[in-house]
Amino acid sequence: MHPPLDGTVLVTGASAGIGEALARQLASRARRLVLVARREERLQALASVLRRERTGRSVALKVEVHACDLGDPGARTRMLDAVEQGGPIDVLVNNAGFGDQSLFERGRWDKLERMLGLNVVALTHLAHRVVPGMVERGRGGVLNISSGFGLSAFPGVAVYVGTKHYVSGFSEALRAEVGHRGVVVTQVCPGPVLTEFHEVSENTTGLRPPRFAAISAEQCATEALEGFERGRAMVVPGFVIRNLLRLHAITPRWLWRRVTVRMARAMRAAEASPHEPAGEA
């Protein structure tokens, strides 16, 4: 069972990072590529590059740009209405999302609420809109970009961890429901990726992920699409994180809780310290 990447593919969060890397790699396969994000100028620039690279090939690529705040329910609906006027969506790439790095009680509620709306509600709404048609047609695909945090628990990112646990659980259950109807559902659980994530998350914990574990957005996209095309349930890009998560899976919960308590104490000490926050490892 393979997702129909040669049809209409919608990619959210396509203006930067993993979403942009996914769009660039999908451009060589899709017939119609729909790019969705808030920053229209970035989407238009990417679309121009992708169209130019496909010039002269036997199968023309149609690239559409839809500037949309996916956290706005009305905007999501209008975007989907506009896209579906050009035909059904064969593959949905749910990549849009952001994080927050702070101790829970110090996080801004307006930001946390927006994160819940984008990471959880928007992702679910998009899938709910397109999956029925996929089931009816007997073919389709949903690629959900989750996180290694969706398979573990860390202090300093409590709400973000919660949203990614939702994505992981939702993806597994949805796959069970629709896989036998020809619809591929794959979740991608990367660790640190070299993107704008840390700038957007406004890290106040003083801690950074180790650089040796980080991978590029291009590598993440490549491994994600390879696993998706093979119909895999889960993809964990990056050798280091893949093996760390395997180790985490066999670590007793009581032991991991002790580790996370120590981490949380270090974060509180870093926030309370008048010195510069710890740099990247």
What is residue 56's three-state secondary structure?
A: coil
Say how far apart CA 273 and CA 207 lie, in whole Å. 13
What is residue 8's three-state secondary structure?
A: strand
**Could you say which of 98, 160, 166, 170 is catalytic?**
160
Q: What is the rounded end-to-end Cα distance, in angstroms, of the chain?
A: 41
- Quick check: is 166 catalytic? no
Angle at 12 between CA 92 and CA 152, to 5 degrees: 85
Strand runs (DSSP E) across 77-231, as ranges?
Answer: 91-94, 140-145, 183-188
Say how far apart CA 127 and CA 12 lie, in whole Å. 12
| Residue owning tokens 């969506």 | 89
Say how far apart CA 213 and CA 281 lie, in whole Å. 10
Q: Active-site residues: which are they?
A: 160
